[in-house]
């Protein structure tokens, strides 16, 4: 038994050191050197104060801001999850209708010809998506422009300026980071 126990314990200690100490330090060091902004959470600072992350959505419900995608996790990164409601679940249908009503209540004067984009009324899989579709941003332009007393064309230009293209030129769809766009709106005065 001792002949089997000693090599097993030695291997356990060796693999624990390699996979639990050496590998994490090596990967962290490489990430800090090659991608320091991303390795430290892709934090966005304004006047020396961290206001959020490029990677985690935040709740905006003031009509003068663009609203992000709803969160099933309550915008809590520690509770990242979707609702797991199926398409026919009454709870999903109720929450979508509630979100539609909130969008309409925030902009009662708008006579919309565009349908409400689906990402404004449904949560993402993680519940923390920081981006919305370009269609969702453009849908909100009249409300934001009116609430801020801005010309709609100026707000559309800002949306276009903050539209990110497809990743690597071919993955996904163009999207808008809500926090970055709202910070730019605040700078516009």
For Cα atoms 24, 25, 26, give the angle at the middle one, nearest 5 degrees: 90
Q: Are 123 and 177 in a shared domain? A: yes
pLDDT tens digits, 82-123: 666 777 778 778 888 888 888 888 877 665 667 889 888 888
Q: Are 83 and 16 in a shared domain? A: no
Q: Report the DSSP beta bridge partners of residue 167.
A: 171
CB–CB of 144/185 below 8 Å?
Answer: yes
Residue 79: per-residue pLDDT: 61
Q: Are 141 and 174 in a shared domain? A: yes
Q: Are 28 and 47 in a shared domain? A: no
CB–CB of 73/128 below 8 Å?
Answer: yes
Q: Report the DSSP beta bridge partners of residue 43.
A: 53
29 or 81, higher pLDDT: 29
What lies within 8 Å, CB to CB, of 143 at 6+ separation is 63, 106, 107, 110
Q: Are 31 and 68 in a shared domain? A: no
Q: Are 23 and 84 in a shared domain? A: no
Q: Are 20 and 54 in a shared domain? A: no
| Among 93, 17, 144, 33, residue whose Cα is nearest residue 83 | 93
Does residue 177 surpass a pLDDT of 60? yes
Buried b (16+ CB within 10 A) or exposed e, 129-166: bbbbbbbbbbbbbbbbbbebebeeeebeebbeebbeee
CA atoms within 13 A on the CB side of 14: 6
Q: Are 32 and 62 in a shared domain? A: no
CB–CB of 139/117 below 8 Å?
Answer: yes
Distance (Å, whole) CA 115 – CA 167: 26
Supply the pTM of this predicted model.
Answer: 0.78
Total number of domains constituting the chain: 2
Residue 46: per-residue pLDDT: 85
Which domain does 179 fall in, by range?
Answer: 43-188
Distance (Å, whole) CA 126 – CA 76: 10
Q: Are 24 and 51 in a shared domain? A: no
Mean per-residue pLDDT over the chain, rounded: 86
Q: Are 49 and 6 in a shared domain? A: no
pLDDT band of residue 47 (cuts 50, 70, 90) is: confident
Q: Are 33 and 50 in a shared domain? A: no
Does residue 154 surpass a pLDDT of 60? yes
Residue 110: per-residue pLDDT: 62
| Among 60, 43, 44, residue whose Cα is nearest residue 132 | 60
188 or 83, higher pLDDT: 188
CB–CB of 125/73 below 8 Å?
Answer: no
Q: Are 8 and 83 in a shared domain? A: no
């Amino acid at each position: 038994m001792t002949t089997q126990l000693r090599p097993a314990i030695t291997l356990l200690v060796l693999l624990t050191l390699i996979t639990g100490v050496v590998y994490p330090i090596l990967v962290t060091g490489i990430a800090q050197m090659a991608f320091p902004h991303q390795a430290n959470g892709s934090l966005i600072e304004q006047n020396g104060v961290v206001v959020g992350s490029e990677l985690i959505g935040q709740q905006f419900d003031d009509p003068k801001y663009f609203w992000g995608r709803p969160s099933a996790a309550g915008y809590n990164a520690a509770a990242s999850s979707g609702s797991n409601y199926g398409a026919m679940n009454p709870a999903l249908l109720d929450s979508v209708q509630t979100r539609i009503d909130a969008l309409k209540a925030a902009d009662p004067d708008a006579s919309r010809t565009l349908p409400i984009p689906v990402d404004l009324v449904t949560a993402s899989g993680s519940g923390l998506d920081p981006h919305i579709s370009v269609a969702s941003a453009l849908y909100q332009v009249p409300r934001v422009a009116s609430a801020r007393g801005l010309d709609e064309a100026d707000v559309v230009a800002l949306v276009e300026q903050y539209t990110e293209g497809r990743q690597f030129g071919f993955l996904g769809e163009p999207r808008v980071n809500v926090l970055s766009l709202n910070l730019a709106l605040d700078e516009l005065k």
